[in-house]
């Protein structure tokens, strides 16, 4: 039965469009000239040496985004203390604008098919804020949310995956975990949790693969 299966999603980049994809929204919200933000991360690594450093694990994901937070805050003459400030200033007024259309379709399809839904995030409320999460479309469809903002257990620590599996109450072989960060996929592999390494440049294909693995 599908109620004994679950789709486990990372949040930023998987459920939401990345900040790389929404530079136009950020520039508009902050009153910056179009084209001001030129770093493109996985969409064009040649524009983003800092991203390459993160992928090489020379810096952490949080280090990367704190650097960008400081840079963008400085562009508007402000000292932003955290990623939450960046996200809320850039897109907080309209959470629905950053929901991936492919994510919306997959989440609804999974729910209609009777699957359980979970989020396993390292920084959902840390980056986005509690109010953003409360107003995010479809958030009420998720059965379980495990957020390291509160657990303090970050992927790829094996305990993070065990936490979400424990809350779902399901066997790992009946779940599929989806994340765009390679290190987090390696963590899932280490605990033998089926996974899809989400490609932010091909979101529809990644979601189709995950649902197929779950028999949908």
pLDDT of residue 62: 83
pLDDT of residue 109: 98
pLDDT of residue 97: 87
Residue 120 has φ and ψ, to the nearest 5°, of -125, 105
Q: Spell out the residues 6+ positions from residue 152 whose beta carbon is closer than 8 angstroms to its own.
A: none
Q: Interior CA angle at 13 toward 58 and 10, to 5°?
A: 90
Please state the domain extents for the chain: 2-16+99-213, 23-95
Q: pLDDT tens for residues 50-74?
A: 999 998 989 988 899 999 999 999 9
pLDDT of residue 6: 98
CA–CA dist 113, 62 (Å, integer): 35
CB atoms within 10 A of CB 35: 9
2-16+99-213: CATH superfamily: HAD superfamily/HAD-like (3.40.50.1000)
Q: Is 131 in contact with 21 (CB distance < 8 Å)?
A: no
pTM value? 0.91
pLDDT per 10-residue tile (average), the chain, 216 residues: 90 95 94 97 96 93 93 98 88 83 98 98 89 91 97 97 98 98 96 98 98 97
pLDDT of residue 127: 83
pLDDT of residue 93: 67
CB atoms within 10 A of CB 28: 12
């Amino acid at each position: 039965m599908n109620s004994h299966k679950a789709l486990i999603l990372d949040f930023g980049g998987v459920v939401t469009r990345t900040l790389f994809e929404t530079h136009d929204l950020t520039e508009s919200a902050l009153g910056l000239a179009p084209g001001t933000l030129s770093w493109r991360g996985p969409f064009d690594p040649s524009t983003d040496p800092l991203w390459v450093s993160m992928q090489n694990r020379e810096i952490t994901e949080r280090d990367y985004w704190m650097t960008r937070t400081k840079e963008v805050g400085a562009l508007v003459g402000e000292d932003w203390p955290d990623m939450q400030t960046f996200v809320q200033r850039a897109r907080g007024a309209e959470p629905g604008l950053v929901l991936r259309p492919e994510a919306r379709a997959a989440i609804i399809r999974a729910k209609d098919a009777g699957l359980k839904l979970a989020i396993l995030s390292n920084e959902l409320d840390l980056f986005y804020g509690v109010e953003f999460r409360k107003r995010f479309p479809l958030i009420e469809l998720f059965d379980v949310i495990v957020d390291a903002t509160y657990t303090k257990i970050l992927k790829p620590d094996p305990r993070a995956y065990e936490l979400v599996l424990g809350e779902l109450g399901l066997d790992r072989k009946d779940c599929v975990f989806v994340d765009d960060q390679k290190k987090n996929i390696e963590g899932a592999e280490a605990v033998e949790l089926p996974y899809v390494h989400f490609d932010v440049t091909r979101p529809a294909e990644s979601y189709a693969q995950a649902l197929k693995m779950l028999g949908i």
